[in-house]
Amino acid sequence: MQIIITGGAGFLGQRLAKALLNSSLVFEELLLVDLILPTNPGNDDRVRCLQINLSAEGAAKSIVTSRTGLLFHLAAVVSSQAEKEFDLGWSVNLDSSRHLLEACRHQQPGIRFVFASGFAVYGGELPAVVDERTVITPRSSYGIQKAIVELLVNDYSRKNFVDGRVLRLPTICVRPGRPNQAASSFVSSIIREPIHGETAICPVSPDLTVLVSSPNTIIRNILHGATLESTAFGDWRTVNLPGISVTIREMLDSLGRHTDRKTANRVEFRPDPAVHAIVSSWPTAVDNTRSLQLGFSADGDFDGFVRQFLAEE
């Protein structure tokens, strides 16, 4: 069997690749594809890396074959970038997704298709607690693009063109590396940069609540979502992955407990209305009943996030 990861050069794609290589899942090839050439995370002979633009006509059909049994679609233009670069967002987030679904449909019907969505599909006036049946009213181009692909995956699954699984990921914290163009990038920056002795800029109020999940839990849940029997999902293939709700102030308090107050004080608050408008439209309280019943994992308190990042440094 061949496994494909789109967005294979990114943080999440590389982590997922490592986890797959160390898992009990049997496969002959792990194909990592991205706009930039991915690296082989384990120097494993089963890994093949390919630089490709999946929004280009014919690109998706060139990678999906009769050997493909599992596809993780992680590639995306992130929230703030999709808002600023409208055409690019639609090309990458929608067109490439549609091309991949069509390739699966025609090349190898029934492929397990794991789509990484997010809570940006929600927005506007939300109930106090959301679940998978809450009406989605996204307030960003990124959220709308993700919502459309969610519906496509569900329809292609209904028609048995793919065995789809839509996983809505909370904001991942703490990401290593440098900030990206996601509106939520600051959620990792305000922990990561101070630990590295650098000043971080927080564009939102310290009282803003965010929904987060740690890298280890996200990877564990993506793998779990890929290995569940299709019948477990019922008639709707979309699942809200568990996250924890925490304020920016609580995050910095945790940082101070695990380092020192000097480190936590390396965060400067500079309001950015554009970022605040996007991030504050996302839900912060989620009913995880369905995801927990399906066996997905939840983090504990935010202290565990900081400990995880410090352990990996």
Strands (E), 81-203: 111-118, 162-169, 171-172, 200-202
In eight-state DSSP terms, residue 130 is B
CA gap 181, 141 in Å, rounded: 14
Tokens of 5: 């990861």
Report the C-alpha gap between 257 and 240 in whole angstroms: 30
Q: Kindly name the residue from 72, 119, 122, 142 that is annotated as catalytic.
A: 142
Say whether the peptide bond before residue 174 is cis (omega within 30 degrees of 0): yes
With 0-12 CB in 10 A as exposed, 13-18 as middle and 19+ as buried, what is 40?
middle
* Cα 41 to Cα 256: distance, rounded to the nearest angstrom: 33
Active-site residue 122, yes or no?
Answer: no
Angle subtended at Cα 154 by Cα 153 and Cα 158, rounded to the nearest 5 degrees: 115
- Asked if residue 9 lies in contact with residue 37, where contact means CB atoms within 8 angstroms, the answer is yes
Residue 165 carries which DSSP code? E
At 173 the three-state DSSP class reads coil
Q: Hey, which residues are catalytic here?
A: 142
